[in-house]
C-alpha cells in the first residue's frame, strides 16, 4: 500500500475477467491503491442476494493490471463486498466502485442489479460508493469513452464524499458515432419490465421456461435517467437504501389501526 493514496475497493457482477471491471481497475489505479474482490463467474440479476446456504471461497486470481490484490469470490456481488470488508482489507476502503456493468442499470433495473447492490452494500457500511454501467450488453462492449468520466466522478467522490446513506448510480449510453454530451444529475425514471415466459418442452417431455420481456418507460418527465440517456448524456442518479415512504407515515397514523 502506498502512503497517502486512497484505498479503493473494486467489484462487479459480470465476473472478475469481464472487460468492464478491467477498464474500471485501470482507471482506479490512477487514483489510489486498488483491491479487487469480484465474483468468479457472472452474477447478473442477483440483486442484493447473499449466500447463506452454501460455503464461500476466496481465490487469489491475478488477471492483469496494477491492482495490489485481486481475488475471485464464489458468491454474489453483495457477498464480495462483505468478505472484502471483513476478511480481505485491514481497514475500510475510502471508496468502493462497482462495474462497469455490461448493460443498463437505469430506472427500475437498479432493483435487480448486482452491480448496484454491491455499491449499496458498501454504502450500508458507510463507504462512499458508485455503481457504473454501460447500456451495452455485449461481452465485447466498448468502454473507451466512459473512461475519463469514470475517473472524474470517482475523483470528485474521493474529494467531496457522499452523505450517509447515499450511493451514486451512473449509466453511460451505448457508444455511437456521436460523443457523449456530458453528465446530467437526474432522478430515476418510473418504468417497468413487462415479463413474458417462453414455455418450452425438453426432449423427455418436461416443461421449462425462459424469461423474456420488454422494458417500458412510463415516465414522460424530462428530468429522468431514461430521458437523458436517450439524448446521449451520462445519467447520474443519487440513490438511497432507506426505502421508507416517509410521506405515508402521517397518513397511516390517521388510520384506525388500534381501535
pTM recorded for the entire structure: 0.93
User: Do the domain assignments include residue 13?
Assistant: yes
User: 256 vs 24, 43, 244, 251, 259, CA distance in Å?
Assistant: 53, 45, 21, 11, 6
User: Do the domain assignments include residue 111?
Assistant: yes
Among the listed residues 170, 155, 176, the one whose alpha carbon sits nearest the alpha carbon of residue 228: 170
Q: DSSP 3-state assignment of 28?
A: helix
User: Do the domain assignments include residue 212?
Assistant: no
If one compares 238 and 193, the residue with the highest pLDDT of the two is 238
Among the listed residues 172, 143, 168, the one whose alpha carbon sits nearest the alpha carbon of residue 157: 168
Q: How does pLDDT run across 51-73, given as a tens digit for each residue?
A: 999 999 999 998 888 999 999 99
User: Do the domain assignments include residue 194?
Assistant: no
User: Do the domain assignments include residue 128?
Assistant: yes
Number of domains in the chain: 1
| CATH code of the domain containing 34 | 3.40.1210.10
Please give the Cα distance from 141 to 144 (Å, whole number): 9
Among the listed residues 35, 30, 44, the one whose alpha carbon sits nearest the alpha carbon of residue 11: 35
Q: How does pLDDT run across 85-124, given as a tens digit for each residue?
A: 999 999 999 999 999 999 999 999 999 999 999 999 999 9
Please give the Cα distance from 204 to 201 (Å, whole number): 8
- The grid coordinates listed for 189 are 425514471
User: Do the domain assignments include residue 205?
Assistant: no
| Beta carbons within 10 angstroms of residue 224's beta carbon | 23
Please give the Cα distance from 59 to 56 (Å, whole number): 10
User: Do the domain assignments include residue 154?
Assistant: yes
Q: Which residues contact 79 (CB under 8 A, 6 or more apart)?
A: 50, 51, 56, 73
Per-residue pLDDT averaged across 128-154, rounded? Answer: 95
| Residue pair 95/33 in contact by the 8 Å Cβ criterion | no
Domain interval for residue 20: 7-189+220-253
Residue 2 pLDDT greater than 70, yes or no = no
Q: Residue 199: which region, alpha, beta or left (left: phi > 0; alpha: psi -120 to 50)?
A: beta
Per-residue pLDDT averaged across 189-213, rounded? Answer: 91
**pLDDT-based confidence at residue 160 (cuts at 50, 70, 90):** very high
User: Do the domain assignments include residue 209?
Assistant: no
Amino acid at each position: 500500500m502506498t502512503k497517502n493514496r486512497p484505498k479503493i475497493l473494486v467489484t462487479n457482477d459480470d465476473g472478475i475477467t469481464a472487460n468492464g471491471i478491467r477498464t474500471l481497475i485501470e482507471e482506479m489505479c490512477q487514483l489510489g491503491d486498488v483491491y479487487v474482490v469480484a465474483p468468479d463467474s457472472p452474477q447478473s440479476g442477483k440483486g442484493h442476494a447473499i449466500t447463506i446456504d452454501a460455503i464461500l471461497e476466496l481465490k487469489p486470481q491475478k488477471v492483469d493490471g496494477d491492482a495490489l490484490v485481486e481475488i475471485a469470490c464464489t458468491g454474489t456481488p453483495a457477498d464480495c463486498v462483505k468478505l472484502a470488508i471483513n476478511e480481505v482489507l485491514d481497514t475500510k476502503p475510502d471508496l468502493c466502485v462497482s462495474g462497469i456493468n455490461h448493460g443498463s442499470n437505469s430506472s427500475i433495473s437498479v432493483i435487480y442489479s448486482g452491480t448496484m447492490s454491491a455499491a449499496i452494500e458498501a454504502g450500508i457500511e458507510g463507504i462512499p460508493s458508485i455503481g457504473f454501467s454501460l447500456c451495452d450488453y455485449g461481452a465485447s462492449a466498448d468502454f473507451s469513452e466512459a473512461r475519463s468520466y469514470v475517473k472524474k466522478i470517482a475523483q470528485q467522490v474521493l474529494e467531496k464524499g457522499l452523505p450517509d446513506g447515499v450511493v451514486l448510480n451512473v449509466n453511460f449510453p451505448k457508444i455511437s458515432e456521436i460523443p457523449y454530451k456530458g453528465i446530467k444529475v437526474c432522478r430515476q425514471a418510473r418504468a417497468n419490465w413487462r415479463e413474458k415466459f417462453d414455455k418450452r418442452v425438453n426432449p423427455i417431455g418436461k416443461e421449462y421456461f425462459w424469461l423474456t420481456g420488454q422494458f417500458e418507460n412510463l415516465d414522460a418527465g424530462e428530468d429522468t435517467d431514461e430521458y437523458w440517456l436517450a439524448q446521449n448524456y451520462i445519467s447520474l442518479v443519487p440513490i438511497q437504501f432507506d426505502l421508507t415512504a416517509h410521506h405515508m407515515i402521517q397518513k397511516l397514523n390517521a388510520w384506525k389501526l388500534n381501535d
